[in-house]
Structure 1
Amino acid sequence: MIAESVNPLSITRDAWRDTGADAGVTAIEIEVICSDPAEHQQRVTSRSVDIPDLKLPNWQQVLDHAYEPWNREHVIIDTAGQDPQASVASLIRHLDRLAAGRNILT
């Protein structure tokens, strides 16, 4: 099972982890970030939407969004300076290491 969503608060992260546990699967939490503020802003302000009437947040709204730091182990993928393929490759490397070390994903 893969669940993708914005989870800036511990309560929502906990809910997704609990959903995985209830389903009897191992939850691997992944935080995707862009550590370069200028690149992040450029991505936010230049993106387009393909869902009718969906209003995307502007840069200030992104900056003002509530965010609670993580308080447990999770995978961090920093997309700064990378194209999507490089970010996916980084994620796969992380998952492979986790699978080897924990005997999961098999």
Structure 2
Amino acid sequence: MLIAFGGLPGTGKTTIAQTLARKLAAVYLRIDTLEQAFIEAAGAAADIGPAGYLAGYGVAKDNLRLGLTVVADSVNALHMTRSAWRSVALEAGVQIFEIELVCSDTTTHRLRVEGRRADIPGHKLPTWKSVLERQYEAWESEHLVVDTANVSVEQAVDAIIHRLSMSSPEGRLL
């Protein structure tokens, strides 16, 4: 199964996706990590465009074809990227489970964005202003929405696992 996360920076995607991947013993794929590697290889001034996502789709497909569950962590802000993740799952012959994280409390969201520290060397984190100005298209596909404003990481992961068990054949976890 491909579990594709999305949501604005500061909503908890990385923390929740990593925790979920650990619990499921799944492959964890973070687009920020791939993009930062491309930036380091090409130079800080280089425009890498969609290279991180394109590499992510390929790595995800390889692992899905090996029979592994993949947890993909990215902002996934556009219909185009969400459609591409669905195509990856289709081509690999697996189900996709899409999750959008939101933070309905603006103050909490802002504090998270402004209080974060980069966990990838050289990674430039977005500012609150850039988060507000970011292009983010409304989701059209069926997906789970998790509001992280008032739930712990553990509660969010438990809710996701519960929904995964409901969507998998015979109610089994992956």
TM-score (norm 2): 0.56
Q: Which structure 1 residue ranges, 5 or more long, are not aligned? A: none
Is the counterpart of residue 52 in structure 1 residue 121 in structure 2? Answer: yes
Report if aligned partners of 2:165, 2:171 keep a CA contact under 8 Å in 1.
no
Q: Which structure 2 residue ranges, 5 or more long, are not aligned? A: 1-69
Q: 1:17-72: CA deviations, max 9, x gaps?
A: 10011000001111111111111111101011122221100101000000110112
Cα distance change, pair 93–103 in 1 and its aligned pair in 2 (3 A) = closer
* Among 17, 20, 26, the residue aligned to 2:95: 26
Cα distance in 1, alignment partners of residues 163 and 127 from structure 2: 31
Partner of 2:79: 10
Identical pairs, percent: 42
TM-score (norm 1): 0.88
Aligned length: 105
CA root-mean-square deviation: 1.8
Residue 118 of structure 2 aligns to a residue whose secondary structure is coil
Equivalent residue runs for 1:1-106 within 5 Å: 1-99=70-168, 106=174
Cα distance in 2, alignment partners of residues 103 and 26 from structure 1: 14
Whose strand proportion is higher, 1 or 2?
2
Find runs of 4+ consecutive structure 1 residues off by over 4 angstroms: 102-106
Cα distance in 1, alignment partners of residues 97 and 113 from structure 2: 26
